[in-house]
Amino acid sequence: MEERKYLKWYNKVGYGSGDLAANCIYGLLTSFVMIYLTDTVGLNAGIIGTLIMFSKFADGITDVFFGNLIDKTKSKMGKARPWMLYAQIGNCICLVAVFAIPSSLGKTAQYAYFFIAYTLLNAVFYTANNIAYASLTSLITKNGNERVQMGSIRFMFSLATNIIVQSITVGLVTNFGGGAKGWRTVAFIYAIIAFIVNAISVFSVKELPPEENETESGQGNEEKISFLESMKLLLSNKYFLMIAAFYILTYVQTGIAGIGIYYMTYVLGNPALLGTFSMAQMLPMVIGLAFTPALVKKFKGMYKVNLTGYCLAAVFRIGFIIGGYMGNIPLMLGSSVLAGFCTSPATGDINALISATSDYTVRTTGKHIEGAMFSCSSLGIKVGGGIGSAISGLLLSASGYVAGAAQQSASTINMLNFMYLWFPMISIVLIAVIMYFLKVEKANADWDAAHGVK
């Protein structure tokens, strides 16, 4: 029997546009905050990296905390939508604050200012917004195919926004006067766009009534679950831990990719190539996402599609590394295109995997923790991205990087090669191992068979 459909096409597109809003903020932050702080404000890359790393300690607590709050929320708008809407205000204010560090402050005060604004953005407002956004996958539909479609559309917006942000930001900063004024103006423009599009996304969908969620899962219990119990349920679910590791590795890689602007400037000698390389990586992923629902349907699940994709991506990444050392830009771009296409299915169906993992908890414990379960996405994005930014800052500083220098030392060039060429390969191989063990769909099917559920 065909699954019930809950969503129209405009609901799916409206939901997906939420990642346009998110990446106006996070795309600017992860790709450009380091070079803004080192080359415009004049701060030390190693100290910045250390501050970012300490900021991530708060993130590890607030992710599950806000997920638990969302699970307990009752309002006319539902559980998640109020958090998604109102937290975006704080996101926008803090983004502008990060890129508007007062030059009148002393260096110590500038470090403190950055740390406070960055931590509020990541640990509080982005956490609340992003967990709420991700949770909607479980709260607005129970249809597995619709969940995959939502994830694919969402990440099409995400990748397209990142391509645009990485392609036009440097030029926009220059057009708005360069320096501190240029960065501040661009951050303000991105914040306004993010707020408007986020609001459109919030009001384009409606959450299912609580009683329908309960009926669909076979539970009729409104039992409140404490923060500590949520933590216990999450940590006892091996599939949650695997998905959290997937997100962390993915966004450590993304955070380290923030040195792309340094690589283009000092290794390839042309900072304008950043947009070209971003497009070569992300545009194939956008195209691949369009095929993800069909691939998942053809192979009767996400497991084979995701595992095969990451294994192939590891092979193609070898060509990227060889091209980097040869200085062969076409080989690098071609390898990046193929690797990006192969990793796109997992990017598109990951939210459906989280929903399946949440369903596994409901099956095995009878507990609903959708909000807390989706904290793995926010935790991975922020902790992974923060660790990646911290590592890149610390390694840049250790390599002897000199801000604004016409040329960098051989040790700095070698470090840039390691971070930009080798680290993505390491990350992809580790994720392929995770995908091999991530058999949550089979676990749910086995549970249903054992309990006579059709």
Residue-range domain boundaries for the chain:
16-206+229-447
In this predicted structure, the answer to whether residue 454 has a pLDDT above a threshold of 80 is no
Distance from C-alpha of 282 to C-alpha of 220, rounded to nearest angstrom: 43
pLDDT bin (cut points 50, 70, 90) of residue 409 is very high
Q: What is the overall mean pLDDT for the chain?
A: 88
Tokens at 121, concatenated = 């953005």
User: Quick one: pLDDT at residue 215?
Assistant: 46
Q: What is the pLDDT of residue 142?
A: 81
Q: Per-residue pLDDT for 332 more than 60?
A: yes
pLDDT tens column, 90-125: 999 999 999 999 999 999 999 999 999 999 998 899
Please tell me which residue, 385 or 15, carries the higher pLDDT value: 15
User: What's the pLDDT tens digit per position in 212-237?
Assistant: 665 444 444 446 677 788 888 888 99
Residue, of 143 and 441, whose pLDDT is higher: 441
- pLDDT tens figures, 43-64: 998 899 889 878 877 776 787 7
Tell which CATH architecture fits domain 16-206+229-447. Up-down Bundle (1.20)
- Pairwise CA distance, residues 291 & 11, whole Å: 19
pLDDT at 139: 86
Of the chain, the percentage scoring pLDDT greater than 90 comes to 47
